[in-house]
Chain A
Amino acid sequence: MKVLVAVKRVVDYNVKVRAKADGSDVDLNNVKMSINPFCEIAVEEAVRLKEAGVATEVVAVSIGEKNCQEQIRTALALGADRGIQVEVAGKVEPLVVAKLLKAVVDKEQPQLVILGKQSIDGDNNQTGQMLGALANMGQGTFASEVVVEGDKVNVTREIDGGLQTVSLKLPAIVTTDLRLNEPRYASLPNIMKAKKKPLDVFTPEDLGVAVTSHLTQVKVAPPAARQAGIKVADVQELVDKLKNEAKVIS
């Protein structure tokens, strides 16, 4: 079976992002960009399915400007077989990403689509679920285990209070949580090999999808700052402060 993996180019998770002074947007000048960590987990899961003989082909797709090809190459270096870039300028909203992915799904007919549960820039947590609705597929979100059995996939999900397992008819959508797997590092030979793997580029017009905008970012601002705290000398002082100054314990 074919597995489609959606990978997003985002600011590296180690970067502490700030708002620009004029509040127009965040300052992403000269910051390190990476593959969204949840997408890395998605690629790893797809590659493991292939190594286990369950999947036959892994296709990595990214939607964005030309430089998102770097993240597609990362996915190829981790073991994906080929890449698809949908060339779109600027920010694309999850609903539009979902529509573009739906068009790719129609073209590629994968049995499983694996996405991250959340992109760490916009913190949306929407795209996989939206794709599920548009493609009328079952979804296993926040997955910590994925088991393909015949024409079904069992997905164990991280929920409030513990874990839930659902069974989905294939084709289906999975979104990854942190405990699904630990992604491997790409080896140098694999990075070299990835450069030669096929990567097709499409435009939204090619896919028949209109890039619409539903939300306007009016401004961005830093969060309310916390007042500087103090260091206490010992446990007794801590307890005293909590009782008598902060009055949060009695």
Chain B
Amino acid sequence: MSTLVIAEHDNSSLKTSTLNTVAAAQAIGGDIDILVAGADCGAVSTAAAAIPGIGKVLVADNAAYAHQLAENVSLLIAEVAAGYDNILAPATPNCKNFLPRVAALLDVAQISDVTAVESGDTFQRPIYAGNVIATVQSADAKKVITVRTTAYDAAPATGGSATVEALSAVHDAGISSFVNEEVAVSERPELTSAAVVISGGRGMQNGENFKLLEGIADKLGAAIGASRAAVDAGFVPNDMQVGQTGKIVAPDLYIAVGISGAIQHLAGMKDSKVIVAINKDEDAPIFQVADYGLVADLFDALPEFESSI
């Protein structure tokens, strides 16, 4: 059995989600290689080669892969996939963008958001906003899988010494091009790998009031998330949305502030170890999943909380 893990990176650093995916590959068993597709991504391949237990790191370093355009990268992966039984990538927005294209090129199904490996061909995945866990068996010779990163602890990042092999294949489909990107750089930990997440909902009333969460996040080393309602209302950027159709998080501590607890929101955070809810409505559904519920006005509770920690 051999597995190819697709590295998630930004051309300069390897993302933790790659390590979660390696852990899932280890759960399947067999040989594991990593593919790094990017441009000027030498540092990423060096980091990938340091992951213990990796056979080789394949690097496709070319301008055609700079922004990991799905049209180009999928052609590359489908070609490299010939030598592997399983193709795994983290279920991040970036990999969700190109991996189904790879599956279609290989004429196999994709199994999205795998949370457990039962055997070489049988996997668990949440469906219906996580209200149900399905066990699915694949009849395909090649399995194309995205891994829910919160379901796997990150594999160790250092200690290994895989060989690095450059791939010369250049695939430019010529049907798409990158125009620009507006990406906010944050000093805070990444939402999906932070140990503590504090999220605000419609109850925050506006973007300015998210400052009340920032002070707490600073003290706890937390990432800041949001409900869809807060994002739709323009309080905060879209990539902060936690939920069925946003980010999936499972930190040690999740604090939901002014969030009612719709199923779509719960889908993104209910696997957190400890959940705190602060809401002025004692009947809010969020309290059904909260370990500690505080019925209070957030504008009173947050400043007091910040000064008590």
Contacts and interface: CB of A to CB of B under 8 A. Distances in A.
Interface of A: 11, 13, 16-19, 26, 38, 93-95, 98, 117-118, 120-134, 136-139, 141-142, 144, 154, 158-169, 172, 177-179, 213-223, 226-227, 229-232, 234-236, 238-239, 241-242, 246, 248-249
Given A120-B128, A221-B135, A234-B294, 19 more contacts: A26-B128, A118-B245, A120-B129, A120-B245, A124-B110, A125-B96, A129-B101, A133-B105, A138-B173, A141-B97, A162-B239, A165-B180, A215-B137, A215-B139, A223-B131, A231-B292, A238-B305, A242-B253, A249-B196
A130 B232 contact: no
12 contacts: A95-B107, A95-B108, A117-B245, A142-B93, A164-B182, A169-B175, A179-B238, A214-B108, A222-B132, A229-B292, A230-B291, A231-B287
A167 B101 contact: no
Given A159-B94, A238-B292, A177 B238 contact: yes
B165 interface: no
Contacts of A229: 275, 287, 289-293
A70 B224 CA distance: 41
Contacts of B110: 94-95, 124, 126, 130
Contacts of A133: 74, 100-102, 104-105
B239 A248 contact: no
Interface of A is mostly: mixed
Given A229-B275, A230-B291, A248-B252, A161 B183 contact: yes
A239 B294 CA distance: 11
Interface of B: 67, 69-71, 74, 92-94, 96-105, 107-113, 122, 126-140, 173-186, 196, 220, 228, 231-232, 237-239, 244-245, 252-253, 263-264, 270, 273-276, 282, 287, 289-296, 301, 304-305, 308-309
B253 A248 contact: yes
Nearest to B220: A249
B265 to A, nearest CB: 12
Contacts of A218: 122, 135-137
A166 B177 contact: yes
Contacts of A169: 174-176
Nearest to B139: A214
Contact of B132 (A19, A127, A164, A178): A19
The 5 closest A-B pairs by CB, nearest first: A129-B100, A214-B109, A138-B176, A130-B104, A133-B104
B135 A223 contact: no
Contacts of B129: 17, 120, 123
A217 B100 contact: no
Nearest to A127: B100
Contact of B127 (A122, A165, A238, A239): A122
Contacts of A166: 69, 176-179
A55 to B, nearest CB: 20
A130 B112 CA distance: 13
B290 A139 contact: no
B72 to A, nearest CB: 10
Contact of B140 (A98, A144, A214): A214
A118 B301 CA distance: 37
A161 B184 contact: yes
Nearest to B307: A235
Nearest to B130: A223
A55 B133 CA distance: 41
B128 A232 contact: no
A230 B103 contact: no
A16 B180 CA distance: 39
Contacts of B173: 136, 138
A241 to B, nearest CB: 5
Given A179-B232, A230-B292, A125 B109 contact: no
A216 B123 CA distance: 11
B225 to A, nearest CB: 13
A236 B296 CA distance: 12
Contacts of A222: 131-133
Given A177-B238, A235-B308, A246 B131 contact: no
A183 B85 CA distance: 43
Contacts of A227: 291
Contact of A226 (B109, B289, B292): B289
Contacts of B294: 231-232, 234-235, 238
Nearest to B234: A179
A214 B97 contact: no
A141 B100 CA distance: 12
Contact of B309 (A38, A164, A239): A239
A120 B220 CA distance: 34
A236 to B, nearest CB: 7
A18 B132 contact: yes
Contacts of B127: 26, 121-123, 220
B175 A136 contact: yes
A165 B137 contact: no
Contacts of B291: 226-227, 229-230, 246
A246 B276 CA distance: 11
A125 B112 contact: yes
